[in-house]
Amino acid sequence: MKIYKIESGPVATIAYLVVDMNSGCAVIIDAPLDSCARIDTIIKNNNLKVEAILLTHTHWDHIADCSKIKELTSANVYLHKSDFYRLNEPMKHTIYPLPFMIEPVNNVEFLNMGDKIKIGSLEFEVLHTPGHTEGGLCFVEHSNKVVFVGDTLFNESIGRVDLPGGSMEQLIDSIEQHLLVLPDNYRVYSGHGPETTIAWERNNNPFLVNFEYK
């Protein structure tokens, strides 16, 4: 596995281009503003075949280039159905007016807890982790011990819950029930900021001090 980290857009949102080095097949996780051109360069320079676009959630900063990337790659877009309304009508669901247009994406596939996405020899397990949004998803690739968490979990922090669809109770429950139970050495790739590990967050995240690991 090779992971390309593409940080772009006005709030430094991260897209991940994850490549199965055995086959050249790839998956894109999230689609921030101005990421498409950089992703296109990586695809062409490495002769990659993108087979899926996975959305951790549909806040505008994670979907702004989704339509462009879908057109570029012809890959299917996958997300949880509870978050589809923002992708379907993106300009209606921002907390403030944006100085640019986001094109809607309507032709999608819905994912549920426990689904598996195969990309070459890689297999991503889907975790439904509501709290930051209603349909928040995380994607675990167990063979490489990595988890892509969007804005559910950050290095010593968690996603905000003060936006429509957010819930602190749900978010903490999602993190404790589905992420902190992963093995210590799983690397955590978030939608903003540096990577971390499950062990580090379990032991150092101030929002998770009441979690008891068994």
Q: What is the pLDDT of residue 214?
A: 56
Q: Retrieve residue 183's tokens.
A: 């093995």
Fold category of 2-208 in CATH: Metallo-beta-lactamase; Chain A (3.60.15)
Tell me the C-alpha distance between 211 and 98, whole Å. 38
Q: What is the pLDDT of residue 209?
A: 82
Is residue 54 within 8 A of residue 20, CB to CB? The reply is no
Every domain of the chain and the residues it spans? 2-208
Residues linked to residue 206 through DSSP beta bridges, in sequence order: none
Q: What is the pLDDT of residue 96?
A: 86
Pairing mode of beta strands 49-54, 25-29: parallel
Q: What is the pLDDT of residue 69?
A: 98
Q: What is the pLDDT of residue 213?
A: 66
Please give the torsion angle defined by the CA atoms of residues 36, 141, 147 and 26, in that order, rounded to the nearest 10 degrees. -10
Mean pLDDT by 10 residues, the chain (214 residues): 97 98 97 98 98 98 98 98 97 90 96 98 98 98 98 98 95 97 98 98 92 68
Which helix or strand (DSSP H or E) is residue 41 part of? Answer: helix 36-46
